Structure 1
């Protein structure tokens, strides 16, 4: 690339921060997005402008620069050409790799974890959400202190200064972060107890509890609003909402109401510390009687997104809760499905209802409500009978009730 081709479209400091996106393909066994489209959406959600993308291929991360010196030089050239303000990696970097890359490239470097944490910090609205995000960010920052900034190498001590004689600034910062983390965990434990009290109250009321789960931007909040006529914030962006919202959903055929909760979306490589920090919020899903697993039916990575949600559900202990797969964005599917509802095999021997809807257009919602009525009834969801000899679906009119739409046998 020629430096005479420098991008002069926008001067530095004017508008969103300009970022170069970097993805590294480590081969089979590692998740990798060759398009970096999701990373670009994350950057956009954080307020950055992705001006260039570059892919590296390695068998293993370089201990010093993650991508190796040659590829690091290519990235540096892109930074100069596009006058980028920073570089964002699609994988997690070690503190040393991040520090070395910043020195080599001459601009700030962030990894996928830092980017997700930044978005969460921007989107958290409730007191609980802000506490959870702050905890996750501090836990992330605590690993990045070592020689990251030059001021951390200064010594402090003596009369009138915090810390003992000769105590390094890094030790003071580490202790302050540790104390803040401890305080946040104590406050979140209190929030968790309060949520537990609220859940026990709903249990006593006998309300059937349903939680919406799914990959970020699958349309959970839009579906939530469409079902309960709520005004939860919904937008075509990653992590549009973080705070759990619970409303009562009246089902006429049931002659009663169920409890419906909208939860935070999941994403590939969701930082473990973030899952840990949002344990109180995610507990809503773990304690539900039924999960509505919302899937972006128009996504080219639909199966990968489903698998990632299942992985996080297992991490929070919600893998055995009955599910209904809600394939959203029906209006974007070409060609349209032959039927708006059917049964599919979630895992070997486990069949679940699948319902196609468009939460935005209001398509298929009546069919979804009918499935919810069946799920909340004493009989629950009854899968189609399977022949023990052929393992092929066998039509069983008894398993199809008046409340449940005509779900074709799985194919």
Structure 2
């Protein structure tokens, strides 16, 4: 179906020409006459580019779920890959449904947990892809290229399954998901990765082991409150390990742990390092990102291994968070319903096997968030998908060296590398 409505405005900022689009789409694409929401997309171009609107679109699909697209500025403060992209594309930064300037999910929607859960069932990759197709039609209907970072790559694979006719190229960075994999096996692998990253962290900063043990003892014996009023518990502190899979993750954790425990700076930084209160959608639908035709039933909680006292957890969501995080408490019952929900499949293996869209994927050999072993299995299922398996980068390669990464992917997809 065509987009119900599109509203576009033009904005100039330092060194960039921006066109901001708001497109009305159905909440449930199976019910186009039902409730409507808005999806926001920011078009980015070089104001000095004489090619202008003749350039094809490159759509950027952000990681998450539940996080909006980056806000564009000129290099060096803007996204590292943007300069490379603008050489041959108009870049479209999509605020995926529920995030940023798209109709937000900030408070529970509906009077009952069942109504809230029914609403939230429409915020996975398949709905995002169908949104993107309506945006594409609203902007003229030409085929476009897509690049997906992390969860954005999950969306790209869903795009190749659901609507490959809308694509001219597809690029993945750290986000080739397993197809039909058992979610418990996936989370067991992520725990193995975080255990290894924790070992490396203490190898680099051996004095931090005693500091962390001291922090745990303090938290177990005192009622420590964060600036938001939530109690800081040991298991909440362990979640700071979610950043260890980034290229600068060990340093960030070290600089937090070295602060005097109980200081204003320490408590502020602990709270700021945990993304769940700003974007509750991330926690509510996170496990469903891996549910390719199954229920999650709190997989991360069920597969949690026994950790040493100084251990950390990674990018995992647990049911207790919806009690201990004040910002997540309103979602507790809906999150429980979603954990028991039998999710439909996200990917079509037969269609992927017949893929004709030029595609390339950067797969990071020691990725702590998206297991490389499973990513390579998926690559073998997708006709024409060319992998770049490397240990040169971590999961945040697009932030660390995005220009080179995107350049390599473009060359791979076009047969130049």
Where relative contact order (Cα < 8 A, 6+ residues apart) is larger, the structure is 2
